[in-house]
Amino acid sequence: KRMADDKDVLRDVWYGRIPTCFTLYQDEITEREAEPYYLLLPRVSYITLVTDKVKKHFQKVMKQEDMEEMWFEYEGTPLKWHYPIGLLFDLHASNVALPWSITVHFKNFPERDLLHCPSNSLIEAHFMSTIKEADTLKHKGQVINDMQKKDHKQLWMGLQNDKFDQFWAMNRKLMEYPTEEGGFRYIPFRIYQTMSDRPFIQKLFRPVTAEGQSHTLGDLLKEVFPAAITNDDDQKKYQVVIHGIEPMLETPVQWLSEHLSYPDNFLHISVIPTPTD
């Protein structure tokens, strides 16, 4: 029963969707009026990987020469394509009314904020390098390095084509660890904030204490971002969000890493201010 529960969590994480409304930026030059385009975005994927249709939609009303590289922006913030969609949403738009309204640009690429994304192979390279980094933390990179080229391809194709079984058949190996150690060497995680100069916080953190006790999400935050923890008497200042939910602080980080990591094997944790209203 418990195994089945865990598998259900993996499925729910994989099949998470965000309803999105793409609107063309008002200053873009069009031949006709551009209708908004609605789409369900997969949380675990990357925005440039799933927006071919959006591009086609707006092509119809624009001249070819007016179209440069497409980029997205939400309420003035350019959206980084190399962050998973779920993270972008949790970080920037957690508590707004749905659908998520994204503005589409074809001009004035914000070179300072965004990386160019000329093709899907760049996304693949980024994805694979992130997985490798995660495995370096978890197994000193032994598991990912023992895999063959086709196994790497299977991970990527599973993500690209939204094939849960294909992806997890391989990803399962990355989630294994020696039983006697009780978990990975270090937990691959990143903590993001909107109001910060640093893009994210990342530290070495073990899943179990020296005495063999499991570390919890609370332990992790206390170590890395103590401000995120609310004392009993105070009002809650921050929400700690992964995949659009707030896990309990008692949740063991090892379990979180196995079940709530993104396909790139990282726990992307958003710490956002509690909405005032």
Partner 1 sequence: MMADARRAHSAGSAPKRAADSWKRHIARQLKQRDLAQKIMFQDVIRSYMVLLEKFKQKDQITRRLLGSAERCLPDSVSKNSSEMAVVQHEDQVTYLQKIGRELAYEVVDLQKSVRIKDSSLVGQRGRMSELKRRLGAVESECRSLRARVAEVQEGNRALKREYDSLLEQHRRMDETYRREEVRGSELLEDLIKGKELAAESMNSKNERRVQARAATLKKELETAVKKKVNIDIGSGNTQPTKRGALKEEVEEKAEKRPTRSFRSASATSPRILESIKELFEMRKRGSSVSSLEEDLCVPVGVCVVARVPAKALHVLDAHELGINAVKFSSSSKLLATGGTDRVIKVWDIKAGRMHSRGTLGGSNEGITSIEFDPTGTKILAASYDNSALFWKLDDCVPKLTLTGHSRKVTAAKFKCSLRQVVTGSADRTVKIWDLHRPACIRTIDVSSYCSDVVCSEYFIVSGHYDKKIRFWDSRASSCTQEVPAQGKVTSLDISLDHRQLLTCSRDESLQVMDLRMNNARMSFRADGFKCGSDSTKAIFSPDGSYVTAGSADGAVYIWNVNSGHLETCLSDMHCSSINAVSWSLSGEFVVSVDKSRRAVLWSDI
Q: Does 38 bind partner 1 (CB under 8 A)?
A: yes
Q: Would you call 149 exposed, middle or buried from its count of C-beta atoms within 10 A (0-12, 13-18, 19+)?
A: exposed
Q: Where are the beta strands (DSSP E) in the chain?
A: 17-24, 37-42, 71-74, 77-78, 100-105, 189-193, 238-241, 267-273
Q: How far is CA 258 from CA 9, 12, 214, 218, 267, in A?
A: 10, 14, 14, 17, 9
Out of 3, 5, 26, 65, point to the residue binding partner 1 (CB under 8 A): 5
Residues 159-218 that bind partner 1 (CB under 8 A): 213-214, 216, 218
| Size of residue set near partner 1 by CB under 8 A | 38
Q: Does 135 bind partner 1 (CB under 8 A)?
A: no
Least distance in Å: CB of 205 to partner 1?
15
* DSSP per-residue letters across 1-54: -HHHHHHHHHHHHHT-EEEEEEEE-TTS--SSPPPPEEEEEETTS-GGGS-HHH
Under 8 Å between Cβ of 78 and 71: yes
Out of 232, 234, 235, 275, point to the residue binding partner 1 (CB under 8 A): 232
Continuous H helices in 206-275: 217-224, 253-259
The piece of 71-79, 119-127, 134-142, 248-256 that touches partner 1 (CB under 8 A) is 248-256
CA–CA separation, 117 and 76 (whole Å):
20
Q: Does 39 bind partner 1 (CB under 8 A)?
A: yes
Q: Does 69 bind partner 1 (CB under 8 A)?
A: no
Q: Does 245 bind partner 1 (CB under 8 A)?
A: yes
Out of 159, 248, 270, 276, point to the residue binding partner 1 (CB under 8 A): 248
Contacts with 165 (C-beta within 8 Å, 6 or more apart), sequence order: none
**CB-CB neighbours of 160 under 10 Å:** 18
| Angle CA 22–39–274, to nearest 5 | 75
Task: Write the binding mask 74 to 113 for partner 1: x where contact by CB under 8 A, - elsewhere.
Answer: ------------------------xx--------------
Least distance in Å: CB of 111 to partner 1?
32
Q: Does 272 bind partner 1 (CB under 8 A)?
A: no
Q: Does 13 bind partner 1 (CB under 8 A)?
A: yes
Out of 29, 40, 96, 115, point to the residue binding partner 1 (CB under 8 A): 40
Least distance in Å: CB of 219 to partner 1?
7
**Interaction site with partner 1 (CB under 8 A):** 2, 5, 8-9, 12-13, 15-19, 38-40, 98-99, 213-214, 216, 218-219, 222, 229, 231-232, 243-252, 255, 259-260
